[in-house]
Structure 1
């Protein structure tokens, strides 16, 4: 399951997210979205967890928790809409 994580501090990286989410199960990947010009974090990321039950537990328990001093928002990622 693909998980959307927002309200991240700009210093949070993929390794931090992997460590944070791996308490709930296997993490296939973690991708912090960066600005293509400045290469600085845009404050959100996607975490992919192969087991849906583990992912749902992570979403339920991590939403609203603190990560690096910020209260993170964790939801199931919605499919990307096509742009015309």
Structure 2
């Protein structure tokens, strides 16, 4: 299950984002989107969790939670195929 996280702190690392999701299950990958010109975070990213139930539990518990002083938005990523 691919999960989109928005409104992240621009200082958030992929390792820190992974640690936020680990209490809900196995994280197979984490990506924070970076601006190509500046090399800085764009404030959003994606977490991949293999087990859909674990992913849904993470979404339910983390959506609108406060992380590093920011209220994050967590939802299932749309499939752009």
TM-score bucket (shorter structure) = over 0.9
**In 2, Cα distance between equivalents of 1:34 and 1:67:** 19
Structure 2 residue runs without a partner (length 5+): none
> Which residue of structure 2 aligns with residue 36 of structure 1?
36
Q: Normalising to structure 1: TM-score of the pair?
A: 0.94
**In 2, Cα distance between equivalents of 1:67 and 1:14:** 14
Runs of 4+ in 1 over 6 A off after TM superposition: none
Structure 1 residue runs without a partner (length 5+): none
Task: Provide the aligned C-alpha RMSD in A.
Answer: 0.8
How many equivalent pairs are there? 81
> Which residue of structure 2 aligns with residue 18 of structure 1?
18
> Which residue of structure 2 aligns with residue 60 of structure 1?
60
Which of these two proteins has the greater Rg computed from alpha carbons?
Answer: 1
Q: Normalising to structure 2: TM-score of the pair?
A: 0.97
